[in-house]
Structure 1
C-alpha cells in the first residue's frame, strides 16, 4: 500500500511538472527580458546586422527581447577552434529571431545547440541506393539544420549574410526557416500554419512557384530565387524565406501571391521597411 501511495504521489508530481512547464518557461522569459538590453550587444547589432536599423522601432524592441531569450536558452558550441563570444551569439541570434517576430513562439523549442565553424564545413553522409550499393556523399556547406536539435553554421558565411542584408542570401535565415519547417515533423516545406484551412492555399501557391523555379533551372532562365530552392519543397521554403526578408519589394512585385503567403505566415510586411 505504501509503495502504491508513493507511486501515486510521484505520478501527480510528474503531471504537475508537465502542466506547469509552459508557465515556468514564460516566467523565466519574462525575467530575462526584464533586464536591460546590454549596451555592448546594441553596438554589435549596429555593427554586424545593419538590417536592424531598417526595421520599425517596435520591431527593433521586440527583436532585442527575443535575442535575450534566445541567448539565455540556447547553447552555442565553437568548433575547430572558434571562440564563442557575445559577437557570435548576438549576430546569430538577431538573424534567427527575425523569423519569430509578431508570432506566438516557443523560440525554436526543439533546438538545443548552435554549432559554429570558422568557415564552410564538410559533411559526409552514407547512403544506400535501390540496388543496395553503399556510397558516401561529401558536401561542403555553409549551414545545416538537423531535426535532433542542432543548427550548424559557418561564422564566415554568417557574417557575410548579415553584412549584405538586401542581396537575398542569408544562411541563418535559411537554416532557421528549416527549423520552423521541422517543428511539424520532417522538413517538407509546410511549417505549422495558423489554421488548418490555410494549408490548401499555401500548398497551391508554393507548389506552383516551386515548379516554376524547377522550370527556370531546367531551361537556364534567371530567377529571383537561388537555384538551390529547386532541390525540394523544404529548400524552396528556406530559399524564398531569405528573399522575403531581404528582397521583399522585388518578391512582392514579381510573386505577389507567394509574398502574401509568407507575409501571413511570418506576420510581417517588410516591403515598407527599406
Structure 2
C-alpha cells in the first residue's frame, strides 16, 4: 500500500512538473488580458512620461507586461520605506521596457526587488597596496544580483523615469544586467539565438568597447560616458539606457552598436 502511494505521489509530481509551464502561460495570459487599472494609468502619465511616446500597440503590450510583472515579482521596501502602488508601477513600467520586443520570459531568475528610499551603502572588496584586500563602502543607486535580486534607490528610480531623454535610467540599467546574468554571470554578452549572432555581437561590442577605452584615456568618452568603459557588463547596461532614452544619437554616432541592440531587443526606438 505504501509503495502504491509513493508511486501515485511520484506520478502526480511529474504531471504537475509537465503541466506547470502551460498553467503559468495561461495565468500570464489572463493577467495580460485584465483591464489595466485606471489608477495605474494615472501613475504612468505622471511618473513615466516615456510610455506616452510608445506606439499604441507597444503601450498596450507594456501594460500587459506590467500586470504580469507586478503579480510575480514582489517589491520590498528597505530602510524603513513603505512601498506604494506609485512605486511599484513606476518600477515595473521601466523594467518591462526591455521585454517589449523579444519574448524572453519575465526575468526568470529574479525573485524580488529591494527598494530603498535613496542611495544605499554596500561593502565591496578592493585590492589595497601590498596585496591586502580591504572592504570599501560605496553608495549605489542600483545593483543586480545573480542570486535573484535587484536593489534600487527610489529617489533615482523616480529621477530616471522623469526625464526619458537624458540617457540615465537606473531601472533599465539594472534589468539589462538581469538579462545578461540569466546565464549565471554578467559579461556583456546576453544569450542570443545563434552562434553566428553571438559572434557578430562579440566582435562589434569588443571593437566599440576598445575604442571607448581609448577615448576615455584621452578624456573624450563622448555619448557613451566613462562608466561604460568599466567592463563589458557595464558597457552593455549603459548602452541599454541609451538605446531606450537616446536612440537617435546612439544610431547616428554608433550605428553598429545600435543595430546589435535593435536585434537583441527586437525594437527600433529611433523610429518611435
Q: Same fold (TM over 0.5)?
A: yes
DSSP-derived class of the 1:22 partner: helix
Tell me what 1:81 maps to: 80
Tell me what 2:106 maps to: 107
Answering whether residue 189 of structure 2 is matched by residue 190 of structure 1, we say yes
Answering whether residue 263 of structure 2 is matched by residue 264 of structure 1, we say yes
Deviation at 1:125, TM superposition (A): 2.7
DSSP-derived class of the 2:57 partner: helix
Distance in 1 (CA, whole Å) between partners of 2:130 and 2:153 is 35
Instruction: Spell out the pairing of 1:92-241 with structure 2 (5 A cutoff).
Output: 92-126=91-125, 133-241=132-240
Answering whether residue 51 of structure 2 is matched by residue 46 of structure 1, we say no
Distance in 2 (CA, whole Å) between partners of 1:260 and 1:272 is 13
Distance in 1 (CA, whole Å) between partners of 2:172 and 2:20 is 29
Distance in 2 (CA, whole Å) between partners of 1:50 and 1:128 is 43
Answering whether residue 69 of structure 2 is matched by residue 70 of structure 1, we say yes
Deviation at 1:119, TM superposition (A): 0.7
Distance in 1 (CA, whole Å) between partners of 2:43 and 2:90 is 7
Deviation string, structure 1 residues 90-147 (Cα, Å, up to 9, x no partner): 0000000000012213200111111111111110134678977331021110000001
- Contact 1:194–1:265 (CA under 8 A) maintained in structure 2: no
Distance in 2 (CA, whole Å) between partners of 1:25 and 1:130 is 52
- Unaligned runs of 5+ residues in structure 1 are none
Distance in 2 (CA, whole Å) between partners of 1:17 and 1:197 is 37
CA spacing shift, 1:129–1:22, aligned 2, 3 Å: farther
TM-score between both structures, scaled by the size of structure 1: 0.95
Deviation at 1:24, TM superposition (A): 1.3
- Contact 2:212–2:221 (CA under 8 A) maintained in structure 1: no
DSSP-derived class of the 2:222 partner: coil
Deviation string, structure 1 residues 59-104 (Cα, Å, up to 9, x no partner): 0000000000000101111111211111000000000000001221
- Contact 1:126–1:137 (CA under 8 A) maintained in structure 2: yes
Deviation string, structure 1 residues 223-254 (Cα, Å, up to 9, x no partner): 11121111111110000000011111111111
Deviation at 1:20, TM superposition (A): 1.5
Distance in 2 (CA, whole Å) between partners of 1:104 and 1:129 is 44
Distance in 2 (CA, whole Å) between partners of 1:72 and 1:104 is 18
Distance in 2 (CA, whole Å) between partners of 1:41 and 1:245 is 22
Deviation string, structure 1 residues 137-170 (Cα, Å, up to 9, x no partner): 2111000000111000000100111011011110
Q: CA RMSD in A?
A: 1.6
TM-score between both structures, scaled by the size of structure 2: 0.95
DSSP-derived class of the 1:111 partner: coil
